[in-house]
Structure 1
Amino acid sequence: MSKSQATPNSAATGAESPDAILFREGMSRAAAAVHVVTTDGEAGRAGFTATAVTPVTDSPASLLVCVNTASRSAQALLANRAFCVNTLGAEDLALADIFAGRTGLQGQDRFTVGAWEKLETGSPALTTSLVSFDCRISDARVVATHHVIIGEIVGIRLGERKPPLIYQGRHYHKL
């Protein structure tokens, strides 16, 4: 890292946090699996594309998902108290774009593409996903601009073993 881009720990120095543009550029260099996070219930069916998904613990099995507070899907997910993380295969790139809002399809119309089934929570599971994790929300809080949501996994549907879809450098990649 060049000296002009090095930023000390702001908590330790009392300095301002790193520049948001520099942070986003740095994060764009980290490769991440691409997921479509879905929900369904009294608040309606919704979904979004996410790379901010990570395991928390295996006992009880749980995942952490981050979603922007301005997202329409976030409100439905929180109200439904359940979600499904669908890890995309390389052939599901079009779905990643649809649920990222890049195609003009909104709300329920996003689910007209792909084959979906329901798991225990009622959240849509993509039948072509590498794996689907069906979750009930166990904790949720707002951190700055995002909801940080932890879901306890109540069901897992394993899909075919095939190449994953990865996001890196602001582009999708097939492994």
Structure 2
Amino acid sequence: MARLGAAVTVVTTGTLENPTGFTASAVCSVTDDPPTILVCLKRASRVRSAFQEGAPMCVNVLASSQQHLSDRFAGPLENLERFAAGHWTTLATGAPVLEEAISSLDCQIDRIVEVGTHSVLFGQVRAVRLGGAVPALVYFNRAYHHLPHAEPS
């Protein structure tokens, strides 16, 4: 699976006053109608209990200049310390949205399926915020890579 490249995201839940978040690369579009995505979260993660059916969830796609945020949300910092970097706001669900993200998918967790060591969180997209057209951050072969900026075709 290390050879399967993926966008790097910070996934959040809770509120601006009581936020929780983690770094994820296992994020995928499920369907356009209704717009639904999935996120995989290790069941043993200390943030797992905050992600419940019906809760808000925002997937914030990171730019190549935001590797420090990926490391911050993957590391041992407590939740409030993680959110001390970046500028945070909300959209439709109230989940924390990173203002500097390439894009943010604001969702309501529709269901959670337990599969092996992970929880698969299905989120129905309630709002989308598009950031600037900047180079993206991806994770491939156990390392970060910085994609160049590309104009949409």
TM-score norm. by structure 2 comes to: 0.91
- Segments of 4+ in structure 1 off by > 2 A? none
**Counterpart amino acid of 1:141?**
V
Q: Does 1:85 align with 2:48?
A: no
Q: Does residue 173 of the first structure (1) align with residue 145 of the second (2)?
A: yes
Report the alpha carbon displacement of residue 81 of structure 1 after superposing the two structures with TM.
1.3
Alpha-carbon distance in 1 for matches of 2:112, 2:53: 11
Larger RCO: Structure 1 or Structure 2 (Cα < 8 Å, ≥ 6 residues apart)?
2
Q: Structure 2 stretches of 5 or more lacking a match? A: 148-153
Of the three residues 47, 51, 54, the one matched with 1:73 is 47
User: Please, which of 8, 21, 35 is the counterpart of residue 47 of structure 1?
Assistant: 21
Taking every aligned residue pair, what percent have the same amino acid on both sides?
44
What is the CA distance between 1:80 and its match in structure 2?
Answer: 6.4
Tell me which moved more, 132-141 or 74-83: 74-83
* Structure with greater strand share of residues: 2
After superposition, what is the alpha-carbon deviation per residue over 1:22-52, rounded to whole angstroms, capped at 9, x for unaligned?
A: xxxxx111111000000114xx421000010
How far apart in 2 are the matches of 1:168 and 1:62?
A: 24
Gaps of 5+ in 1: 1-26
SS state at 1:141 partner: strand
Superposed displacement of residue 107, structure 1? 1.2
The residue number in structure 1 matching 2:74 is: 100
1:128 correspondence with 2:94: no
User: Contact (CA 8 Å) 2:12, 2:95: kept in 1 or not?
Assistant: yes
CA RMSD of aligned residues (A): 1.2
Give the AA of the match of 1:82.
Answer: P
Question: SS where residue 94 of structure 1 aligns?
Answer: helix
Q: Which amino acid aligns with 2:95?
A: S
Contact 2:54 2:110 in 1 (8 A): no
What is the aligned partner in structure 2 of residue 33 from structure 1?
Answer: 7
Match of 1:148 in 2: 120
Distance between the aligned counterparts of 1:76 and 1:139, measured in 2?
A: 14
Deviations, residues 116-149 of structure 1 (Å, cap 9, x unaligned): 1111111111111110000001111211111011
What is the CA–CA distance in structure 2 between the aligned matches of 1:138 and 1:121, rounded to whole Å?
Answer: 13
Q: In the alignment, what sits opposite 1:117?
A: 89
3-state SS, counterpart of residue 82 of structure 2: helix
> Could you say which structure has the larger radius of gyration?
1
Q: Is the 8 A contact 2:61 2:102 kept in 1?
A: yes
